[in-house]
Amino acid sequence: QVQFVESGGGLVQPGGSLRLSCAASGSTSSINAFGWYRQAPGKQRELVSTITNGGMTHYLESVKGRFTISRDDAGNAAYLQMNNLKFEDTAVYYCNARIGYRWGDYWGQGTRVTVSS
């Protein structure tokens, strides 16, 4: 099983930037992709971005051009650079990983991003 610790969230004004970090531990050698999810107050968790071991990336349409996902060469950390943040980006952000075709069932505590003026 893989465990995740997210960090880097905080309070930021609209238009500001944050860089989120995800430290993965456990069976990280089995990971073939990382993903960032977010859950806004009163909303379901949604997939924000993914990156495969081969470097293929996907983004939620609403964050394209603003967010950039990356991973380290060791394969045990992922990052989400968030620029031009908007009110609707306010959420708790979670990291997850894919092993085979299956995304993890266990979630970390997440890191809270609040965009407010």
* Average per-residue pLDDT for the chain: 96
**pLDDT tens-digit map of 63-86:** 999 999 999 988 899 999 999 999
**pLDDT tens-digit map of 44-58:** 999 999 999 999 999
Question: What is d(CA 71, CA 45) in angstroms, rounded to the nearest whole number?
Answer: 22
Contacts of 83 (CB under 8 A, 6+ apart): 17, 66, 67, 68
